[in-house]
A and B are shown apart, each in its own frame.
Chain A
Amino acid sequence: AQSVAQPEDQVNVAEGNPLTVKCTYSVSGNPYLFWYVQYPNRGLQFLLKYITGDNLVKGSYGFEAEFNKSQTSFHLKKPSALVSDSALYFCAVRDEGFQKLVFGTGTRLLVSP
């Protein structure tokens, strides 16, 4: 069965510092991995995805994520955080042969000025 773990409920970082939001996954086939961001009273907004190819994926708003097959991880990163990046971040996986996304429990990112 597919599963995703986001071990941190909240990540705090100062504006201008690099940020990392962690995600590990478990699937039976090839993983398709996604990051979404959710602002208050809004739906989920797509940031980036890993399907195949380069392990470093670049996405929207300066975010990137690194796929590590041996560690079954897909951590979200940004070199320099902005206060406006403060939001709820969800990692999701789609197992090969399935259509549905399986989400983690989310990590709240708080960027302080």
Chain B
Amino acid sequence: GAGVSQSPRYKVAKRGQDVALRCDPISGHVSLFWYQQALGQGPEFLTYFQNEAQLDKSGLPSDRFFAERPEGSVSTLKIQRTQQEDSAVYLCASSSTLAEEYNEQFFGPGTRLTVL
């Protein structure tokens, strides 16, 4: 079956540009997560949605980062006025059940963002 998909797979932006990264979760998955993975590091949590509600955005590094999931399926992570330190792989993950803490998260292939 189809997994989590992300687009674009690669994005190069000039410093100061705005970018939008898209995530299509597994159909029917209630929970959606965004993580940031810097080179040589483990993924770090950015934000979490349960359906269309953004329940945790404690990991967003600044107010330049904004995420939405208006219809409870596709999600977009937007970064305004990109900086070089934003260069990373952005991973999206989804899981199936409402507030089921033991369900594993399924990850997409990620979007590699390079800010010049």
Contacts and interface: CB of A to CB of B under 8 A. Distances in A.
Given A100-B59, A103-B43, A105-B41, A43 B108 contact: yes
Contacts of A51: 102
Nearest to A51: B102
B108 to A, nearest CB: 5
Interface residues of A, number: 26
A46 B102 contact: no
Given A46-B104, A105-B41, 7 more contacts: A43-B109, A43-B110, A49-B104, A90-B43, A99-B99, A100-B48, A104-B42
Interface of A: 4, 32, 34, 36, 41-46, 49, 51, 90, 92, 94, 96-106
15 contacts: A4-B42, A34-B104, A41-B109, A42-B109, A44-B43, A44-B91, A90-B43, A92-B42, A99-B48, A99-B50, A99-B55, A100-B33, A105-B41, A106-B41, A106-B42
Interface of B: 4, 31, 33, 35, 40-45, 48, 50, 55-56, 59, 91, 93, 99, 101-102, 104-110
